[in-house]
């Protein structure tokens, strides 16, 4: 209620409605999570990073510039995202062939080894 003292109650109500009605962008959230994990790789497992990576690689949505900007310091992950999304769009040209028992392409597992995540 301290906010209501400074601003009129109408302003506060309008602000709350805008926050509630703002459409959630699931792909943006996935990119943000992956970018956070990429920033601190020694604190997160490779399995978690790969799970976030696969979730962020959905080809149902197109990433925006704002989605990709956090990866400017992590160009290896950005390059993998591009390759993986391209492979999902054109499975015949994907850089991976078989999948491991976990359902994750062995290609992805191999590429994540060099990114510094915990085993």
pLDDT per residue, tens digit, the chain (119 aa), is 454 455 555 666 666 666 555 455 566 788 888 999 999 888 889 998 999 998 888 888 888 888 888 888 899 999 999 888 888 888 776 776 655 555 556 888 888 888 888 77
Residue 34 has, within 13 A of its CA and on its CB side, a CA count of 31
- What pLDDT, on the 0 to 100 scale, is given for residue 25? 59
Whole-prediction pTM value?
0.69
d(CA 57, CA 82) in angstroms, rounded, equals 8
Residues 40, 65: Cα–Cα separation, whole Å: 22
């Amino acid at each position: 209620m301290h906010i209501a003292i400074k601003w009129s109650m109408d302003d506060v109500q309008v602000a709350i409605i805008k926050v509630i009605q703002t459409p959630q962008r699931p792909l943006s959230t996935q990119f943000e999570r992956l970018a956070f994990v990429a920033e601190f790789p020694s604190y997160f497992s490779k399995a978690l990073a790969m799970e976030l990576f696969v979730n962020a690689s959905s080809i149902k949505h197109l990433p925006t510039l704002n989605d990709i900007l956090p990866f400017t310091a992590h160009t290896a992950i950005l390059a993998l995202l591009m390759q993986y999304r391209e492979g999902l769009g054109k499975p015949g040209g994907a850089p991976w062939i078989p999948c491991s028992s976990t359902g994750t392409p062995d290609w992805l597992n191999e590429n994540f080894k060099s990114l510094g995540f915990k085993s």
